[in-house]
Each structure stands twice: as C-alpha cells, then as structure tokens.
Amino acid sequence: MYQRNTLRIGAALLGALMLGGCANQLPQRSEHEERLERRLLAHSLQIDVGEPRVLALPQRRVRIHEQKTFEVTAFEVTRRYDRYTPYQPWRELYEVPLGAVAVVAGIGANIVNVVMLGRLPDSVTKDWINYGFAGLNPAMNVESNGRSEQNLAKIDEVQQDKRTEYSSLPWAERPVLVKAGKETHELSTDRAGMLRLNLLDGPFADHDASQIGTLLLSVEDPQDGTSADATLLVSRDLRGKLREAHALIYDDLEEDEVSHWVHRVKRLSDLGLEEEASELEQSLIELTRNDPELQQEFLHALLKDAGRLAADPGED
C-alpha cells in the first residue's frame, strides 16, 4: 500500500513538472539612454510697453516675453532585462529526438577535435552538446531568441552633468487683460508675442475712449500663477482728439459728399493721426472701386484740397 502511494505521488510530481516546465535562461540584455531632468528655478513675465509711457497716439505695440530658468540634470540610464525561453510542452515532441542527435554529434565532434588538436570551434564542440542536453530535458525547451521573453531586472542611473539653462520666449497667442477706466477687455497677442493696442479700434471703439486716462495691462500663467502688470498713461492731448477722430472714422461714409470725405482724411492728418488718415483714405478708395468715375473724383479732390497723392492699391 505504501509503495503504491509513493508511485502515485511520484507520478503526480512528474506530471506537474512536465506541465509547468522550466524557463531556459538567456544572456541578460541591457538598454542605455540619456534622461534629462528639468527643475524650474525661476519663472517671470515681462511686459515691454515701449517709450514713452504716455500715449500721444492711439496705437501702440506692446511686446510680452516669458522667461524661465531651469536646473537641468543629465543621467545615463541603464536598464537590464532578464531573458528566458518560456516552456511549451508540445515542443518536446521534436526537441527530444533532435537533442539526442545533437548529443551524439557533439560527442563525435569532440573526438574529432582531439585528433585535430582543438581546431574545431566551440559552436561545434560545446554548443551542440548544450543544445542536445537541453533538448533531452523534458522539463526545459532549448534556447530560442525568436520567442524569448524578458523581465526588467534592474535600473541603474548615473548622473553625468548638471547645468543651468535659460529660456526667453514670446507670450505667443496668449490672453492679455487690459483695464481701461471701468471696463476690462481681454485681448490676445500674435505669434511673436506682440499686442497691438488701438484706442480707435477693437473693444475701445465701442466706448468713449476720450474718458480713458490709464491703461492697465496684466498677464498671468494659470499653471503656476506667475503674473506681470504694466501701465500706460493716455495724454490729455490725445484724449481730446479721440472723440473727434472716432466720429471722423466711424460716421456713415456713403451718405457724404466727396468733399466731406476729403475733409475727414485731411482733418485726421491735421490732428496728427496720420496712420488713421491713411487707413480711411484706403477704405474710401476700396469703397469706390466699382465706380471708377467717383473714385477719380475723390482722388482728384484729395490731391487738390488736401495735397495727398493716393492711388488704388488694386491696380496693376
């Protein structure tokens, strides 16, 4: 009875061994790479409103930059992987007979190697025998790089370098809050981090800009709360011109006579608002493009009464 139980236990252990098998370990593999660790040391925003700080003209270009200081640490990272050939029992159907052949061939190769004074390579004398015994082992498959698997065994990091880096980038296409009097407007910079302010255009045109004495510009990075403010003053002389200039630019043009068009352009120029005068002049030329006779009348009057020589930019 005792002998029968022993045989059963032995058979069960052998069956478990055949089903579970052992992984055939392969040479360890390593990967090398460089890792950079960046730590933010300082972050600031700068608003350059230009000079002078008092606006004498309704337009101003404001440049905004973002500056950062980083501590950069470089590491050399080595990852080591344990590789193995997973056990598959069905492969023993062909590995066992191939293993027997390899063992016989390996023994024969070693005998020949003795005669040849050790001139045969290890791939014949040793590898054949190793392959053969692995194939004969019913609990292990032979090595196979093609179906090998791996597990991360260890990570080694060695610090190579530590340095400080600085970056200065435009506040590109980001919001800027502009407080004008009691109103606050959200404007946006362009790709170069430039904000174009015009008290006769945009949200300012919808309000009485003549009452604005101060422009407060503010920006903030929502990620860490870094912010910056800057102030522009509006001169009293400019405030006195803004209401009249607004009427000259935005009052209905189509109901006016040509002489009144010329008056508007000339008056803007007399107020020192040459850029606005040129823009209105080009708008009127565009308005009369489909009426060449009226356009020529306007250009002639513009030259005669205002001394301004203009031409249709759409002409070749």
How confident is residue 84, by pLDDT bands cut at 50, 70 and 90?
A: confident
The closest alpha carbon to 143, from 80, 83, 90, belongs to: 83
Question: What one-letter code names the amino acid at 252?
Answer: D
pLDDT in the model for residue 227: 96
Q: Is the pLDDT confidence value at 74 over 80? A: yes
Q: Which residue has the tokens 């001169």?
A: 235
What pTM, to 2 d.p., does this model score?
A: 0.65
Q: Are 55 and 241 in contact (CB under 8 A)?
A: no
User: What is the tens place of the pLDDT at every residue in 40-70?
Assistant: 999 999 999 999 999 999 999 999 999 999 9
> What's the pLDDT tens digit per position in 194-240?
999 999 888 888 777 778 889 999 999 999 999 999 999 999 999 88
- Residue 197's DSSP bridge partners are 60
271, 245 contact by CB (below 8 A)? yes
| Sheet with 54-55, side-by-side order of all strands | 54-55, 227-234, 214-220, 175-180, 183-188
Query: What pLDDT is attached to residue 123?
Result: 66
40, 186, 220, 227, 272 from 224: Cα distances, Å: 11, 20, 9, 9, 43
- Compute and round to an integer the Cα radius of gyration of the chain: 43
Burial environment of residue 33 by CB neighbours within 10 A (0 to 12, 13 to 18, 19 or more) = exposed
